Amino acid sequence: MGHLLCFDPIVKGEYRSGACERNIAPVCGCNGITYGNTCEARRAGIMKYTHGECK
């Protein structure tokens, strides 16, 4: 395959029980949704993101 998938249900499951820190460092997920930080994106199962809010 050679490329990262946008969404991975395994990652979502791994982050389900863990709490994310409340630091504000927005990332834009490959699904076009802005998350508060990388932990929140991973908890949603998002594997690819860029730093900063989605435009």
Amino acid at 50: T
Least Cα distance to 34 among 19, 21, 44 occurs for 44
Residue-level pLDDT at 4: 60
Domain boundaries, the chain: 9-51
Distance, in Å, from the CA atom of 26 to the CA atom of 29, rounded to the nearest integer, reads 10
Residue-level pLDDT at 21: 83
Residue-level pLDDT at 41: 94
Is pLDDT at 39 greater than 80 in this prediction? yes
Is pLDDT at 51 greater than 80 in this prediction? yes
**Span 1-35, pLDDT tens digits:** 444 689 988 877 777 666 788 899 999 999 999 99
Q: Which CATH architecture has domain 9-51?
A: 2-Layer Sandwich (3.30)
Residue-level pLDDT at 17: 66
